[in-house]
Amino acid sequence: MVRVAVVDKELCKPDKCQLECVRFCPINKTGRKAIEVKGKAIIYEETCIGCGICVRKCPFKALSIVNLPDELERIVMHRYGINGFKLYGLPVPRRGSVLGIIGKNGTGKSTALRILAGELKPNLGETGNEPGWDDIIRRFRGTELQNFLRDIAEGKLKPAHKIQYIDIVPRRLKGPIGKLLERVDDRGVAKELVKELGLEHLLDRDVRMLSGGELQRFMVAAVLSRNADIYLFDEPSSYLDVRERVRVARAIRSYVPKNSYVVVVEHDIAMLDYLSDYVVIMYGEPGVYGIASKPYGVRVGINNFLNGYLPAENMRIRREPIRYTIPAASIEARVAAKTYIKWDRIVIELNGFRLSVEPGELYEGEVIGIVGPNGIGKTTFVRVIAGELKPQQGSVETPVGQKLKVSYKPQYISPERLGEDITVERLLREANPQALTPGSWLYVELVKRLGVDRFLERRLSELSGGELQKVVVAAVLAREADIYLLDEPSAYLDVEERLAVARAIRRLTETRGVAALVVEHDIAVQDYIANRLLVFTGEPGRRGYAHPPKPLPEGMNLFLSELGITIRKDPETGRPRINREDSYLDRLQRRLNKYYYTDTKKLKEEEE
């Protein structure tokens, strides 16, 4: 058994904690040292017995200790210093194929990409005397990794890497994006990519003035314009709406040279499925260790991830499988249900933008998903429902004599608006004390599953963007309310966290009889939670039109026809799968005008 001990240097605060980890360590009491503090805590894995007393005693939850099989040490790839994160194994790309990587945040996906790109030299877990390339290659002799690592060591692979955190790009680059693309256009395809990704109107704009979505598309175009041997894309769908995600996915599949290596890390399951030829699952304890699974076919690999069991490794990575279902709420059931709110025809004019919304209603116990491109009025409509905006025409009505409680998560959140000096624990306690009661479903489904329990003592101003998003989503869902309004709740979240939030929303509405409106760009999340869809169409930035709420199959059909893509449901897990363009099922569903279909067998029968 090998022991992995990790100390979170940001959370560890020896000056505030009485050094209880050191005082209560049973090995230290024998005169030997298993843990000591030198500025920060240091755990000596050779003498530590893994009793877990220090982990339980640490008030800041800065310590983690796990026991792993000895066999893993043969494939240890990298470690970030003593008591740092440890990566086991490495996803292996293949020429001419797209490797998709899926898994929780903090399990080593970005570290693996940096090694594959040649930006990080693996140290085989040796944090003191780092091994040379000969030792590294020798360690993986006889495996697929050997030749790939040799090519990296000898500089034979030229990488093009789209990094995860694109917000640092404007700090390092300046100038109009048209000039920047010309500078990196080794392959002469930049002009085609500009048109493909909708960047024509941005060519004269300085890179420092781009929005998140514009910057993302620019970076994808820049990477695809380079002449490289290995193309790496770390979360290319972040900040993008569904239409833009499809554009980016098509561009990657169309413009990558045919004999190159391609690696994509993605949290949007539908996009990963569409892009990849095979997948590797990264699993482990976030921030402590990560393991790269064996390669699986796309369908089997993603289904294994959702099932929570990896057969090739004989490893269970989740207690319960995740299943997508078709909401079966009938028209009669909705008529019998209580109407929470209804709106007549609404017209909103704001800063030169005009939004028209057809009449609709929101019923007890249902979730209405809101879909459409960025800049089309989705957030504007949600703000009207929340009471933050008043329309020029039309109104929102509630049952006579009732004042409904609304819990609202805005699209953009900041510590300043919430109170940056308050702690995570205080915010959750004010939202609902049950959220901090161990054993309650709010604590288990939200605080625990999202990992919020690891930083309860931290102030909101100390959190990263992803951590703040998780805290706010947990607080909004924890509040007692009649209607929950959530604007892009999955932003910055990994696959597990997105599905945890989706499951909590669905469970809230079903068990409490409340209702929710959810703006979301992840098709798989919408498919998982929505009873009905509110589809927005129009011209972004100028005019928007919201159709009446439609049952999920009808709404998806309308939405996907606007996008020009077709989706089928996987027979095992029920998840949505985007058909490859011009494939047999894609052509068949277009011909039958069934852009969203749940039973491919029945679909083929209809054709016959």
At 192-224, the pLDDT tens digits run 999 999 999 999 999 999 888 999 999 999 999
Count of CA atoms in the C-beta half-sphere (13 A) of 342:
9
Which residues of the chain register pLDDT less than 70? Answer: 325-337, 400-401, 420, 600-608
Count of CA atoms in the C-beta half-sphere (13 A) of 349:
3
Q: Which of 582, 532, 493 is nearest to 269 (CA)?
A: 493
Query: What distances in angstroms separate CA 166 from CA 56, 318, 338, 575, one per listed residue?
Result: 37, 31, 45, 29
**What CATH topology corresponds to 2-68?**
Alpha-Beta Plaits (3.30.70)
At 49-76, the pLDDT tens digits run 999 999 999 988 899 999 999 889 989 9
Tell me, what's the pLDDT at 604? Answer: 59
As beta bridge partners, residue 65 has 5
Determine the CATH number of domain 336-413+480-597: 3.40.50.300
Tell me, what's the pLDDT at 602? Answer: 66
CATH 3.40.50.300 in the chain, residue ranges: 74-316, 336-413+480-597
Measured CA to CA, the distance from residue 386 to residue 429 in angstroms comes to 23
At 80-127, the pLDDT tens digits run 999 999 999 999 999 999 999 999 989 999 999 999 999 999 999 998
Q: Which of 360, 326, 348 is nearest to 506 (CA)?
A: 326
Query: What distances in angstroms separate CA 311 from CA 253, 294, 307, one per listed residue?
Result: 29, 10, 10
- Would you put residue 163 in left (φ > 0), alpha (ψ -120 to 50) or beta? beta
Alpha helices per DSSP H over 387-520:
415-418, 424-431, 441-442, 465-478, 495-512
Tell me, what's the pLDDT at 475? Answer: 94
Q: Which residues contact 154 (CB under 8 A, 6 or more apart)?
A: none
Determine the CATH number of domain 74-316: 3.40.50.300
Tell me, what's the pLDDT at 220? Answer: 97
Query: What distances in angstroms separate CA 136 from CA 113, 132, 170, 487, 513, one per listed residue?
Result: 17, 6, 36, 47, 58
Rg (the chain; Cα; Å)? 25
Measured CA to CA, the distance from residue 580 to residue 492 in angstroms comes to 27
Q: What is the dihedral of CA 260, 261, 267, 270, to 10 degrees?
A: 50
Q: Identify residue 33 by its one-letter amino acid code.
A: K
CATH 3.30.70.20 in the chain, residue ranges: 2-68
